[in-house]
Amino acid sequence: MSSEMETESLNDYNWDDIESIPIKEEASSALCRIMYSEEYKQQLGYLRALLTKQEYSARALLLTDSIIDAVPAHYTAWNYRYNIVKNIDRDLERELVWCQEVAYDKPKNYQIWHYRSLIIELVESRGGSVDISNETTISDDMLEEDSKNYHVWAYRKWLVRRYQLFRDNIEDLTTKKMIALDVRNNSAWSHRFFVMLGDFGETRPETASETVEQEIGFAKIMINQCPENPSAWSYLQGIYKLAKKDLLAEKEFCELYAVGAGKSDQRSVESRFSLPATELLARIYEVSQDNSKASSLYSILGSKYDPMRRNYWEMKRQRLDSANSATVS
């Protein structure tokens, strides 16, 4: 229950004028009836009745609080709440505080983030403004609890886009911090890509190329820490693709961590083996027409290092070999 529920209860309101609309009679054989279930069923009955009347009131607002508390994904209750807030001149700052409490209380409540963005839009459409740093703090708090909370990250991206926070210092530091805490946190990598390069092509060319070089460097530092991390390799390749740069430049870097690259004798394969490095190296060999090297990498990936996907590696190897024989003949 959110804190408003602690100070205010549905019983504080008079419901005598409301005839709850139940859906159907219960089976009389119900033996293990749960009291809370009765209470919740009654609330659903009230909700149906109030919706039918289209009542916008303080008690209706409280009712939605209670229903959303029980069932965070109750779309009808969310829509209804939004309409009530708009129609009863609800203090929007209080509504944002309510959102925050619901979020902290129920981290898996996904609807709250879209709802919060609607309230912010409402505030701004009425000429008001919100403190962005407060929004950042709230989402930081949430991500501290669950560093991969999809909807909190989506909300964070909404903020970045809406308030043009690309390459913003706080976003930079936050993602760096989160990647440092868990280098395999794909959500943090995804956010960083968005923050750093989400407006690529819209910025000054100098800014773009500076960012590209900086982020290639960052990705490689992180790969050095954990060479088998697919998120960092995706990030690196994503930048090359976006900036249309030639991946050949990373051949030697890949060779540091790939199997069968001729340097494996310089290190312990087990400790440094990286599947993404090997795959990327094979691609680089392929592009530079070094087909026999590429083919042997695909072969060893399918047979030894990644047998669950052997058909994938086999497809790549066969395609290469048939291209090879086509050129020879």
- Sign for the CA dihedral angle at 263, 214, 185, 200 comes to negative
> Which of 158, 264 has the CB closer to other proteins?
158
**Residues found in the chain:** 329
Q: What is the CA radius of gyration of the chain?
A: 28
Task: Report residue 309 as tokens.
Answer: 């996907």
Question: Considering the complex, what minimum distance in angstroms separates the CB of residue 96 from other proteins?
Answer: 18
> Which of 36, 126 has the CB closer to other proteins?
36
> Which of 151, 263 has the CB closer to other proteins?
151
Interface with other proteins by CB under 8 A: which residues? 21, 23, 26-27, 29-34, 36-37, 40-41, 44, 48, 51-52, 70-71, 73-76, 78-80, 82, 111, 114, 118, 148, 150, 153-154, 157, 161, 184-187, 190-191, 193-194, 198, 230-231, 234-235, 237-239, 241-242, 307-309, 311-312, 315
Question: Considering the complex, what minimum distance in angstroms separates the CB of residue 114 from other proteins?
Answer: 4
Nearest to 49 by CA among 17, 23, 18: 18
Question: Considering the complex, what minimum distance in angstroms separates the CB of residue 329 from other proteins?
Answer: 26
Give the CA distances from residue 218 to residues 4, 273, 329, in Å, rounded to whole numbers and listed in that order.
45, 20, 45
Rounded CA-CA distance 42/35 in Å is 11
Helix (H, G, I), strand (E, B) or coil at 283: helix
Helix (H, G, I), strand (E, B) or coil at 32: coil
> Which of 30, 328 has the CB closer to other proteins?
30
- Sign for the CA dihedral angle at 197, 203, 208, 214 comes to negative
> Which of 2, 229 has the CB closer to other proteins?
229
